[in-house]
Amino acid sequence: MAALEVLAVALMLAVVCPPGCSSLHIGQLQVPGPIRNGSVKDVVLDCDYEATKADVGIVIKWFLNQLADPKADPKGEPTLVYQWIPGRIPQALGPLKGRVNLGYRATDEPSTRHRALNIVNPTIELSGEYRCQVSSLDGEDSRAKKMIIYVPEDNLELTQSKASEEGQIRLSCEADGVFPRPTLTFIQKPVDSLNATVMEGAEVRVTDRLDGLFDIEADMVVDAAALDDGPEMVFGCDLEIPDADIRLVKWERYESRRPTTTTTTTTDPPPDDEGAADADGVPMESMHRAADGKERNGIPQHVHDVHDVQCMENGTASALKFRSFRLMHKFKAMCGRFSGAAGLALASKRLSLLLPASLASSLSVWAWSSRPRL
């Protein structure tokens, strides 16, 4: 029965279009490349076909197989979304109803005037394969192309952590809010190389969100010992949106567990190490050397006399440290006058000290600053 129907159609075409007449032919189907969601106000899909006066009963139809429709069957029949018969008003149907500028003209020719789709405010649900079909009593022609309206990732994160088993690390990667459906792959390469290799064995999970976007995450476990024995590596989380021809890689340097070796050269430490405190509890981290006593303490003339010591900072306390003997009196106070017998006398902004002459040759004076303690 089917063979008879095909024969009948062939005979009818032979009568309507004898040898030498022109049949319909779509020369070019123009569909825009990947479009970022919300970036344009309208797009034009043009079905540029050729027709002659002999072509009668022309009908232009556009079909859409939506990527965002979870019920759509990739191998099933697409949905009719637009139809125009020359001499009549064009119609937008299904997903494109209310989304097409029906007054748009591709040409001024009556037979091709409304052949194109002018979609207003295209969004992700209008992504998919568009097919233009032009038919007449002489025959038909059709062509199809994808139009992708994509949404890039909100974030792309790659982390590494210690796995439950000893000597292994876990790599985790995730991206949120992507359209169309993305893919995730782990890759690796030496730090000083440009050539990356795919890491097999990752577990990938994709979540369909109610807003039509996708969340994706991937995990895998890596043998840390093998990495520690080789060159320094970096891991990559490779996110791809195949239909939109978009690729983004997030790199993370491998945190090696190999032991580090440190060589330290030591010399004789200074008399008072920074960060420590003496037996009297005087901290040394902010001590300043004033051995010659010239810039900060004045120039000592007679050690039996009383010598004034200039305060290092206005409004702060000062203390004196001597490396070859221990003072019998602790002091952490405001600047004042000091004597071995009388102790510290709070005075003005100068500090004086009376010492035996026998200690003169071994003195090395240090000064220390802190807040006043009253």
pLDDT tens digit sequence for 61-74: 999 998 866 555 55
Nearest to 180 by CA among 206, 148, 217: 148
Nearest to 188 by CA among 201, 173, 199, 172: 199
Please indicate, yes or no, if residue 59 is contained in any of the structural domains: yes
In a domain, 28, yes or no: yes
Check: CB of residue 119 under 8 Å from CB of residue 99.
yes
In a domain, 60, yes or no: yes
**Residue at 248 is within a domain:** yes
Residues 164 and 82 in one domain: no
pLDDT tens digits for range 25-55? 899 999 999 999 999 999 999 999 987 776 7
Tell me: do 167 and 215 sit in the same domain. Answer: yes
Domain end residue (candidates: 118, 150, 182): 150
Domain hosting 112: range is: 23-150
Reduce the DSSP state of residue 85 to 3 states and report it.
coil
pTM: 0.60
Residue 52 lies in a domain: yes
CATH of the domain at 161: 2.60.40.10
What would the two tokens of residue 43 be? 């797009």
Q: Are residues 183 and 197 in the same domain?
A: yes
Q: Are residues 128 and 231 in the same domain?
A: no
Separation CA 107–CA 146 (nearest Å): 23
From CA 330, how far away is CA 272, in angstroms rounded? 17
The residue out of 109, 126, 150 marking a domain boundary is 150
Shared-domain flag, residues 108 and 189: no
Residues 238 and 182 in one domain: yes
Both tokens of residue 205?
């999970």
For the chain, what is the domain count? 2
Q: Is there a single domain that holds both residue 103 and residue 169?
A: no
The pairing of strands 203-208 and 197-199 is: unpaired
Q: 122 and 171 share a domain? A: no
User: Tokens 């993370």 map to which residue?
Assistant: 252
Evaluate whether residue 177 is within a structural domain. yes
In tens, the pLDDT along 179-228 reads 999 999 999 999 988 899 999 999 999 999 999 999 999 999 988 877 77
Strand-strand pairing, 149-150 and 35-36: parallel
Domain contains 306 = no
Higher per-residue confidence, 152 vs 303: 152
Does residue 283 sit within a domain? no
Which of 253, 276, 303 represents a domain boundary (last residue)?
253
Residue 332 contacts residue 317 (beta carbons within 8 Å): yes
What mean pLDDT comes out for the span 339-350?
37
Same structural domain, 70 and 136: yes
Q: Is 139 in the same domain as 175? A: no
What end-to-end distance do the CA atoms of the chain give, in Å? 114
Would you state the torsion angle of the CA atoms of residues 72, 78, 81, 85, taken in this order, to the nearest 10 degrees? Answer: -170
Distance CA(122)–CA(120), nearest Å, equals 6
54 and 69 together in one domain: yes
**57, exposed or middle or buried, with CB in 10 Å at 0-12, 13-18, 19+?**
exposed
**163 and 237: one domain?**
yes
Residue 287 confidence (pLDDT): 35
